[in-house]
Structure 1
Amino acid sequence: MITKKQFNDNLIQNILSDCGSRGIMKSQSFFENICEELLEEGELTNNYTSAEFHRETSKGIIEVFGYDYDEERKILTLINQEFFQQINDNVGLTKQEIENKLNRSRRFLDLSFEKRYQQLEETSPAYSMAFKIYELLFEKSIDKICLMLVTNGENKAKKNIDLLKEINGIPLDFKIVDLTYLYNIFTSNNEDNDFYVDVDLPYLIAEDKEDYSSYLTMLNGEDVYQIYDKFGQKLLEQNVRTFLQFKGSVNKGIRTTIEKEPDKFFAYNNGITATASEIYIENNRIKRLANFQIVNGGQTTSAIYSSKKKNNIDISKVFVQVKLSVVKDLNVHNQFVSKVSEYANTQNKVNKSDFFSNSPFHKDVKEYSRRVWAPANNGFLQKTKWFYERVRGEYLNEQAYLKESEKKSFERENPKSQLLDKTFLAKSENSWNRRPDVVSKGAQYSFMYFADQISTKIEENNSAITEGFFKEMVSRVIMFKRLEKLISDAHWYKQSYRAQTVTYTIALFSHYLNTQKQLLNFEKIWMDQCISEELEIILLEIAEIVYDQINLPKDGSTNIGQWCKKASCWHEIKDTYLDFDIPESILTTRETLRVTTREDKKLKKLDEGINVQSMIAQLLGDDCWKEIYDHYTTYLEDYNVSPLQMDILKKMFEGNLLPPTEKQSKILYIIYNNAIQDNIINSKF
């Protein structure tokens, strides 16, 4: 198991590597990384926005790094941070230091509430943040304010933090996200990382098996409201969808039922499908749920909550049926939740991205990242790999049980600067595919859009994710990161809206090449592991044009961050007149691309054939084949299994295929995977 010190060491090294490759400050990299982590944990919403501000005044220092607004619960969160570069167990913040940090953020609230945002530079992120806060106050849309402090140091406060309990009549709270908190997220099995929901529910036992138990119960509308009000999106972190608001007909139907016929809600609504890691029963009632997760029925939950919160509708007569599964084996918890999510009844159309965690995209990209060596560059003889991190912390976990010499070897082969984070990859791809407005909406929104697009691509062509495509994606990441650094060092850059400038620049460059019917030579970027000086010059010239454009919103909005999220912003910018002579040295021809793509697909098909045969060979003589055959023989009418498949399956379990041919292996591979999907057998891999 990785220790807390090792975790912090790795975090610091990641930050330093990030700064070097992207040209950003350590505090910015730390803040960005931690907030994305909190976003995934449900501690922040998709409205989270980075906006750094620091000023010394006669009333004290004003400081804040960003904010978040939970629209459903009407909670405004201001975020401050303290990053420690030292690796020392004693590093942390005292009670007084924590109070000072929180009060610096509180003073920004004063500045915003008193309309002093007018004193700030109108094009700065801080102005947009202060204006938004004032707007929310004016509209009476803030029910609670939370001051959050994130740090990789320890919370060393021995006594309770002294802070004002309210501001402008609004309750004021705080949250400290320190090293222990971050480490608990990483380990995910520390008792302090669990959360508990106190309830008082009747129940019926539906199933009680060795690995899980299922219960039928129900929640009152008020219970749903109180639970969601306390835990918010943390309840939905495993859910396949976010709430769609009252836009679809089903959601309107939910609200109408709550308002007009609350006593019939139980009959009309499909209810909630949920999981927990443990439950506590007393006097034949469920009294407590550990790590309660709503995996289906998120919109039902939000609809009930919103009906009371926004519309003040009486929900006391509303009752919701709940199918609760308690997963006893923590090792299969995520897989179990994924299956429950996939098979549960849905109330709205589910997008392809909802089940992206099971996509072959991850398997293919992971496979290429493990075996494809990047060319040595900058005079080094050592070849390296680009490590694809599908799940946060995977890079560190792979080193957990390595010896010191093995760790050094691993890091030489997989340098931190070549870590492929899935959300960063999505930003890079969406930018090149000319959707900077999507990227500007935040990492999670951008990733879900990318997931939907790549899933469609795979549906249309299951050989789409080739080794060549992997190299192209890496090349686009190289270009994206280099542009970030170039902009940071540019004389015209004023330390604001860099993220928007980068994505719009990449998109505009891609759009220009497309209109000119020209193709960028990604093979050259891959071979060099960097972009050429000619390409750097072109990107910087476009970036300066884009920077000027986004700082002059055309819709009359003073909030540049919000303007960049709009499709109309992209339509405006993509019509910008550009006149560049693109040097032939950075381009490739369509014929070259066609030949390369064709060869890539041949290699992928060959790889797949070899991998399938290898996998099936490992299952020769395994009892699973007889188990599948017996099940299909008994329930044949329930499955779409051909006589040919049954014949090959029978020969396999009888030992008459030694070994199976490539064609037979492919048929057995399909049968095997279908049997896993249908819960006939468990995977052996």
Structure 2
Amino acid sequence: MELREYYTELIEKLLDDKQISGNKISEEFFSYYTSRLVNTDEIIGEPKYLYFEMYLPQGRCQINGYSFNEHDGILSLYIIPPISDETLESLDKEKASKYLNYLSNFIKKIDKIVDESEESTEGYDLAYDIYHRSSQKESEYYNLVGIKLVILTEKVRVNSLDTIEISEFQGLTITKQIYDLNTLKQLDESYNGKKDLKITFSNEIIGIKASESTDYESYLCSISGLTLARLYNLHGSRLIEGNIRSFLQTRGKVNKGIRATILKEPERFFAYNNGITATCTNLEISNGVVSEITNLQIVNGGQTTASLANVLLNDKAENQLRQIFVPMKLNLVSNYNVADELIPQISRYANSQNKVSEIDLASNHPFHRRIEEFSRKINTPMRDGYNYGTHWFYERASGQYAQETYKMSKTIKKNFEKINPKTQMFKKSDFAKYHNIFDLRPDIASKGGAAAFKSFSEWIISTWNKNDGIIDEAYFKEQVSNIIIFQKVDKLVKISPWYNGYKANINAYSISYLYWWLNSKDKIIDYSKIWKEQDISESLTKIFILVTKKVNEHLTNPDRPIGNVTEWAKRKQCWDDLKEKIIIPENYDFRNSVLNKEEIFIDKKDGFMLKENKLFSLIFKEPAIYKEFHEILLNNSNFSAEDFQLIEKIKLENKRKVSVEDGKKFNIIIEKYAKINRIFEIWLKKHL
């Protein structure tokens, strides 16, 4: 595809997404571009859209978002120049310098921002945390070592911007990066949505092939300690395989024993150290000398690597590192279809002897594959005016949604997106957030990232080990209903007249509060109704309008014990304090949006949620009604053998222990029966 054609399609997509979401086009572009950069590990951390601008005598400052790589101590600040939705433009050096200066001023004039900006904004909170980081050990920015200033643009940068200088400010390394239209096109068109990281070598790595199969090749290698240290200092935790990155926590840490060996006995390092295990997707090796590795990922030995890098950085021990050679088992997995499953398994077994737990590796748990299967086959109910259902697409692996449309024609792509709308795509990180909200832990949901996913993974492993049958189609539909609630609340907050930031926190706390309140009243939301309508009721909408406003007041209360709102939202005390407040009127009429818990209970033996259906009593307690129903069920071609067997099963089980899924099937049978028996339909409406 030509660049101009790609630009036109991109703008059309952004405008469509803007129309659906109600967001600004810059926010849609931020979300679209950063999601691809996260997929390729160009961004490590969770990007957050945050528009902030301020005019100071010393110059204008502006950011459109940020992300924090806690493993390397790098804070990235993003800016998006005005987007042209008509003409493909270039980004020259003068314009790039202007926007990079806006970003730079956020750091260089941060004291002015803290002193003079509005305190009840997320931009102020970010500036305050950075400015006071050294005096607050609990701050996530306490070990900040560098700032990355990033331009995200739909324009094409000129060649003179290929390299940008590195600078320093108050002990922080300042780097600059421009991601333009060409880079985005490459990411979208690459096979797996990732940009290959190719590293070239001279004579720093020697190796021999040790094993070979249809799926992979293994090489036993020796890599120069100085080379490995420089690689890590250059690429950071991008070299560490994603599933174990959060466990390794390598930034700033150095093993004392490894350091002593490096400095005192470098010649014995090879004998003392177990070395590293790594994977790659391509390898150039000739006569035992490695000349190029593509997509190098260290799956075991992260502490060794980080220790070498820290000694180089802090002890300036280049001479010792030149004498060191590190054992490396390098696994070449060139088939992308195999790599998705095999590389995580290599990671898992390579770490089976250390502290990396099942939770650290749970992103590849079979739970996610089952949810993926459901998301591809379960159709939503057809809505009025449409003769087709849609899918809620679960992106089990990063970039799956984009990969599905890889090299599709426009017609096929349009049809795919019709059945799998982008607004109904959710990722693992989203799922973790929704789960924690549903589990009444909005404080953990507010932490996001690794903390939220770890809590989710603990639940997955515990639940799966007890009874994986719980993760069925009914569970999937219930979770989608939770997502529908979240999306609706998100839109309500965005258009509220009082809204001034902290949307993610307001969403999490508002939904958890309603769930908690209903639970305290022995009630629960009727998820089957939400699934059927693919929307929430008017009564739920009205109560969320009330709750979100009160939650915002709670989070931004001037008397809160922690000044930073986002940090306050991460504390359990924030959640406990909210539960002490009466927000929902006792007599609020939820109409038919909630169910009484008397109708729903848990079977302790099997772990299934069960439901006593009012229809059961109506049908089975009236002999004349049941007799006619049974007769038609047996003889009418509108009803299948499965329908008949289900009714017999429910009658046999005395109407009590019936799964939610069977209960829903029973309701469908009754609806079919009512359509062909007008007298029964009138009787049913009268008694319900």
TM interval, shorter chain, is: 0.7 to 0.9
Long gaps (5+) in structure 1: 605-685
Q: Hey, what's the Cα distance between the residues in 1 that align with 2:73 and 2:316?
A: 14
Cα–Cα, structure 1 residues 162 and 335, in superposed 2: closer, same or farther, change >3 Å? Answer: closer
Q: Hey, what's the Cα distance between the residues in 2 that align with 1:466 and 1:603?
A: 14
Q: Hey, what's the Cα distance between the residues in 2 that align with 1:500 and 1:403?
A: 40
User: Contact 1:370–1:387 (CA<8 Å) still a contact in 2?
Assistant: yes
Matched residue SS, 2:585: coil
Q: Hey, what's the Cα distance between the residues in 1 that align with 2:555 and 2:432?
A: 22
> Which residue of structure 2 aligns with residue 524 of structure 1?
529
Give the alignment of 1:156-555 within 5 angstroms. 156-158=158-160, 165-168=167-170, 170-189=172-191, 193-196=196-199, 198=201, 200-208=204-212, 212-245=216-249, 255-262=255-262, 263=265, 266-267=270-271, 269-281=273-285, 284-306=288-310, 316=321, 320-346=326-352, 348-377=354-383, 379-400=385-406, 402-443=408-449, 445-494=451-500, 496-552=501-557
Q: What CA deviation, in whole Å up to 9, does each residue of 1:418-474 have, x standing for no partner?
A: 223333233222211122222222345434432332232222211122111111111
Cα–Cα, structure 1 residues 10 and 302, in superposed 2: closer, same or farther, change >3 Å? Answer: farther
User: Contact 1:475–1:525 (CA<8 Å) still a contact in 2?
Assistant: yes
Cα–Cα, structure 1 residues 403 and 205, in superposed 2: closer, same or farther, change >3 Å? Answer: closer
Q: Report runs of 4+ in structure 1 exceeding 6 Å deviation.
A: 2-7, 137-140, 161-164, 310-315, 601-604
Task: Compare 511-520 and 418-427 and name the one that shifted more.
Answer: 418-427
> Which residue of structure 2 aligns with residue 595 of structure 1?
611
**CA shift for structure 1 position 143:** 4.6
User: Contact 2:221–2:328 (CA<8 Å) still a contact in 1?
Assistant: yes
Cα–Cα, structure 1 residues 271 and 125, in superposed 2: closer, same or farther, change >3 Å? Answer: same
Cα–Cα, structure 1 residues 573 and 21, in superposed 2: closer, same or farther, change >3 Å? Answer: farther
> Which residue of structure 1 aligns with residue 66 of structure 2?
67
Is 2:115 the partner of 1:118? yes
Task: Compare 308-317 and 410-419 and name the one that shifted more.
Answer: 308-317
Cα–Cα, structure 1 residues 13 and 119, in superposed 2: closer, same or farther, change >3 Å? Answer: same
User: Contact 1:389–1:419 (CA<8 Å) still a contact in 2?
Assistant: yes
Long gaps (5+) in structure 2: 137-141, 601-608, 613-656, 665-688
Is 2:599 the partner of 1:586? no
Q: Hey, what's the Cα distance between the residues in 1 that align with 2:494 and 2:583?
A: 23
> Which residue of structure 1 aligns with residue 127 of structure 2?
130
Matched residue SS, 2:369: helix
State the one-letter code of the partner of 1:175.
Q
Cα–Cα, structure 1 residues 257 and 117, in superposed 2: closer, same or farther, change >3 Å? Answer: same
**CA shift for structure 1 position 600:** 5.6
Q: How many residues align?
A: 596
Task: Compare 529-538 and 57-66 and name the one that shifted more.
Answer: 57-66
**CA shift for structure 1 position 507:** 1.4
Q: Hey, what's the Cα distance between the residues in 1 that align with 2:582 and 2:306?
A: 45
Asked which structure has the greater RCO (Cα within 8 Å, sep 6+), the reply is 1
User: Contact 2:72–2:237 (CA<8 Å) still a contact in 1?
Assistant: no
Greater Rg over alpha carbons, structure: 2
Q: Hey, what's the Cα distance between the residues in 1 that align with 2:167 and 2:104?
A: 11
State the one-letter code of the partner of 1:125.
E
Q: Hey, what's the Cα distance between the residues in 1 that align with 2:194 and 2:334?
A: 15
2:96 aligned to which of 95, 98, 118: 98
Q: Hey, what's the Cα distance between the residues in 1 that align with 2:375 and 2:567?
A: 36
**CA shift for structure 1 position 176:** 1.0
Q: Hey, what's the Cα distance between the residues in 2 that align with 1:43 and 1:598?
A: 50
State the one-letter code of the partner of 1:499.
A
Q: What CA deviation, in whole Å up to 9, does each residue of 1:95-121 have, x standing for no partner?
A: 322222111111222211x44421111
> Which residue of structure 2 aligns with residue 650 of structure 1?
none
Is 2:27 the partner of 1:28? yes
User: Contact 1:23–1:486 (CA<8 Å) still a contact in 2?
Assistant: no
User: Contact 2:211–2:219 (CA<8 Å) still a contact in 1?
Assistant: yes
Task: Compare 90-99 and 160-169 and name the one that shifted more.
Answer: 160-169
> Which residue of structure 1 aligns with residue 683 of structure 2?
none
Cα–Cα, structure 1 residues 409 and 255, in superposed 2: closer, same or farther, change >3 Å? Answer: closer
User: Contact 1:95–1:157 (CA<8 Å) still a contact in 2?
Assistant: no
Give the alignment of 1:546-585 within 5 angstroms. 546-552=551-557, 556-581=561-586, 582=588, 583-585=590-592
User: Contact 2:164–2:176 (CA<8 Å) still a contact in 1?
Assistant: no
Cα–Cα, structure 1 residues 20 and 522, in superposed 2: closer, same or farther, change >3 Å? Answer: farther
User: Contact 2:446–2:505 (CA<8 Å) still a contact in 1?
Assistant: yes
Cα–Cα, structure 1 residues 160 and 13, in superposed 2: closer, same or farther, change >3 Å? Answer: closer
**CA shift for structure 1 position 149:** 0.9
Matched residue SS, 1:225: helix
Cα–Cα, structure 1 residues 51 and 400, in superposed 2: closer, same or farther, change >3 Å? Answer: closer
User: Contact 2:51–2:123 (CA<8 Å) still a contact in 1?
Assistant: yes
User: Contact 2:78–2:152 (CA<8 Å) still a contact in 1?
Assistant: yes
> Which residue of structure 1 aligns with residue 53 of structure 2?
54
Q: What CA deviation, in whole Å up to 9, does each residue of 1:572-597 have, x standing for no partner?
A: 33333334335241112443561389
Q: Hey, what's the Cα distance between the residues in 2 that align with 1:222 and 1:404?
A: 50
Cα–Cα, structure 1 residues 358 and 166, in superposed 2: closer, same or farther, change >3 Å? Answer: closer
Q: Hey, what's the Cα distance between the residues in 2 that align with 1:170 and 1:579?
A: 48
Matched residue SS, 1:202: strand
Cα–Cα, structure 1 residues 7 and 372, in superposed 2: closer, same or farther, change >3 Å? Answer: farther
**CA shift for structure 1 position 87:** 7.1
Q: What CA deviation, in whole Å up to 9, does each residue of 1:227-252 have, x standing for no partner?
A: 111101211244434244489xxx99
User: Contact 1:69–1:76 (CA<8 Å) still a contact in 2?
Assistant: yes
User: Contact 1:553–1:560 (CA<8 Å) still a contact in 2?
Assistant: no
Task: Compare 506-515 and 139-148 and name the one that shifted more.
Answer: 139-148
Identity %: 30
Task: Compare 119-128 and 151-160 and name the one that shifted more.
Answer: 151-160
Cα–Cα, structure 1 residues 76 and 487, in superposed 2: closer, same or farther, change >3 Å? Answer: closer
TM-score, reference length from structure 1? 0.76
User: Contact 2:247–2:360 (CA<8 Å) still a contact in 1?
Assistant: no
State the one-letter code of the partner of 2:376.
R
State the one-letter code of the partner of 2:258.
I
User: Contact 1:151–1:177 (CA<8 Å) still a contact in 2?
Assistant: yes
Cα–Cα, structure 1 residues 130 and 467, in superposed 2: closer, same or farther, change >3 Å? Answer: same
State the one-letter code of the partner of 1:594.
L
Q: What CA deviation, in whole Å up to 9, does each residue of 1:48-72 have, x standing for no partner?
A: 5543212344554321123344455
Matched residue SS, 2:469: coil
Q: Hey, what's the Cα distance between the residues in 2 that align with 1:344 and 1:352?
A: 13
Cα–Cα, structure 1 residues 39 and 405, in superposed 2: closer, same or farther, change >3 Å? Answer: closer
Q: Hey, what's the Cα distance between the residues in 2 that align with 1:80 and 1:278?
A: 34
Cα–Cα, structure 1 residues 552 and 25, in superposed 2: closer, same or farther, change >3 Å? Answer: same
Q: What CA deviation, in whole Å up to 9, does each residue of 1:530-572 have, x standing for no partner?
A: 1111111111211112111212377743322222223333333
State the one-letter code of the partner of 2:548.
A
TM-score, reference length from structure 2? 0.76
Q: Hey, what's the Cα distance between the residues in 1 that align with 2:6 and 2:467?
A: 40
CA RMSD of aligned residues (A): 3.7
Q: Hey, what's the Cα distance between the residues in 2 that align with 1:451 and 1:330?
A: 26
Cα–Cα, structure 1 residues 21 and 135, in superposed 2: closer, same or farther, change >3 Å? Answer: same
